[in-house]
Structure 1
Amino acid sequence: MTRIRLATRGSALALAQTNMAADALRAADPNIEVEVVEVSTQGDQDRITSLRVLGGQGIFVGAVREALLDSRADVAVHSLKDVPTTPAPGLTLGAMLERGDPRDVFVGRDGRRLAELPAGARVGTSASRRIALVRALRPDLEVAEIRGNVDTRIAKVNGGDYDGAILAAAGLDRLGRLG
């Protein structure tokens, strides 16, 4: 039996994606045994500081990359959006899972839609593209940075910190929270 150690972040979404990768490996070869190695990254440890201040993409992959380079893991599983465009020396992008739903989803408090929000309502997102999208569709809304995993972001909306948030449909789907 061949053992493969998959390094990943410890969030529910990262673990769901890692389980998808493990299932794909086992489907390709039933003699593969998969071990999941959870790694805490700078982005996971500091959930308050703005992503722009922390330094962008690498904050979610650095510690996972080190697990590979230190031989604590054989393969890393990431969301492609978190992977720097230039790989670290000695590492390569080896495979990708089938792409999930590429759309964005608005999650509104009390089931409200984006079009139903009053002027000045607060919408959370951290992605520059999503900030531009909200500002183009609803320039009367306040767009504020929101940090945390999917469940944390939804809790911030339901708790009243935000009137809504823009989230990735693929992530919601992989966590069974879409539909």
Structure 2
Amino acid sequence: MTTLSAPAEKSTAVLRLGTRASALAHTQSQGVADAITAATGHPVELVHITTEGDRSQAAIASMGTTGVFVTALRDALLAGEIDLAVHSYKDLPTAPAPGLILAAVPPREDPRDALIARDGLTLGELPAGSKVGTGAPRRVAQLRALGLGLEIVPIRGNVDTRLGRVAGSATGPGDLDAVVLARAGLSRLGRAGEITETLDPLQVLPAPAQGALAVECRTSDARTRELLGRLEDSRTRACVLAERTTLATLEAGCSAPVAAYAEVAEGEDGPELFLRASVTAIDGSDGVRGSSTGPLADAAALGRALAEELLDRGAVELMAITS
């Protein structure tokens, strides 16, 4: 007589997902948590982690380090306090973290920048002398380079705080005429309706990996790696790899005035990457731009080649300009 063993019970262990406590980080992380549960059946709980970037109100460019929103999450991962972490991909240092692996890059949101201006104005409609707030040196440099005579004001804070500084906004009296934020964050928070203009990349090229999320876990955690792999979007990963390889080859951090944006288009032999990148002097006085096209499998090589072209054209000298 043959005895049949009972089927193994499906594991429903709760996965602990580390996230910053800001509204945007929480929303992004909850979206990933819901996707994990939908794809695998595993419940996920969010664990709030406070990072250096959350504690400080200093301008990012003045904090003297990369990864200010990342280190505490990675430390919690390595200590086994959480099983995975969700990052805004553009916040990650370009160097890999020993013991951790980027297990999934989910589909990307619209990576373009967005203007939220008083009276529904577009960038071109803002009068000379208008005060425009942004915390990113890349945006500062590119907005100045447009030659519109705008006064660029450095700002920090969460989305509500930034939007509240726009004159006539629903959340405050405001001291600015406009702010520039990532469209992806506004969309994830359900606030895309407040955008007065989505900026064309020909005007303001996005940051490397803007709009993309990075889901990280321990390299040794094979079970979690397999589960997270079900969220992977290969085209998004290829685009972001090209963009961030450009950044890394330029030896620039997330606070440098470097922009890179890759898109997938259909070529004669199948899908191709179209990569654009720029380096702009922070005072807007000069800049270099370039583009490259190639197969998705060559994403890293495309990024390196385009960065080397920009270096040959004076990118290092442009990044050294500080005012």
- Pairwise TM-score range, normalised by the shorter structure: over 0.9
Alignment pair present for 1:161 and 2:175 = yes
Alignment pair present for 1:172 and 2:186 = yes
Deviation of residue 73 (structure 1)?
0.5
Bigger CA drift: 118-127 or 13-22? Answer: 118-127
Partner SS state of residue 165, structure 2: helix
- Contact in 2 for aligned 1:8/1:39 (Cα 8 Å): yes
The correspondence of residues 16-31 of structure 1 with structure 2, limited to 5 A, is 16-30=27-41
| Deviation string, structure 1 residues 8-57 (Cα, Å, up to 9, x no partner) | 10111111110111111111111x1101011111111112x121121343
Alignment correspondent of 2:121: 112
Task: Tell me which structure has the larger Cα radius of gyration.
Answer: 2
Structure with more of its chain in helix, by fraction: 1
Query: Which segments of 5 or more consecutive residues in structure 1 lack a partner in the other structure?
Result: none
The correspondence of residues 24-103 of structure 1 with structure 2, limited to 5 A, is 24-30=35-41, 32-47=42-57, 49-103=58-112
Deviation of residue 109 (structure 1)?
2.3
- Contact in 2 for aligned 1:107/1:166 (Cα 8 Å): yes
Separation of aligned partners in 2, 1:44 and 1:20: 21
| Deviation string, structure 1 residues 108-165 (Cα, Å, up to 9, x no partner) | 1232222222211111112222122211334401112110111111012243222111
Structure 1 length normalisation: TM-score? 0.92
Alignment pair present for 1:124 and 2:138 = no
RMSD: 1.4
Separation of aligned partners in 2, 1:80 and 1:26: 22
Separation of aligned partners in 2, 1:154 and 1:82: 21
Structure 2 length normalisation: TM-score? 0.53
Higher relative contact order (CA 8 A, sep 6+): 1
- Over the matched positions of the two proteins, sequence identity in percent amounts to 53
Separation of aligned partners in 1, 2:179 and 2:106: 26
Separation of aligned partners in 2, 1:55 and 1:25: 35
| Deviation string, structure 1 residues 31-87 (Cα, Å, up to 9, x no partner) | x1101011111111112x121121343111111111112211010101001111112
Letter aligned with residue 54 of structure 2: D
Separation of aligned partners in 2, 1:42 and 1:156: 24
Letter aligned with residue 22 of structure 2: S
- Contact in 2 for aligned 1:57/1:81 (Cα 8 Å): no
Structure with more of its chain in strand, by fraction: 2
Alignment correspondent of 1:141: 150
Relative to structure 1, the CA distance from residue 174 to residue 56 in structure 2 (aligned partners, 3 Å threshold; closer, same or farther) is: farther
> How many aligned positions are there?
177
Separation of aligned partners in 2, 1:112 and 1:68: 44
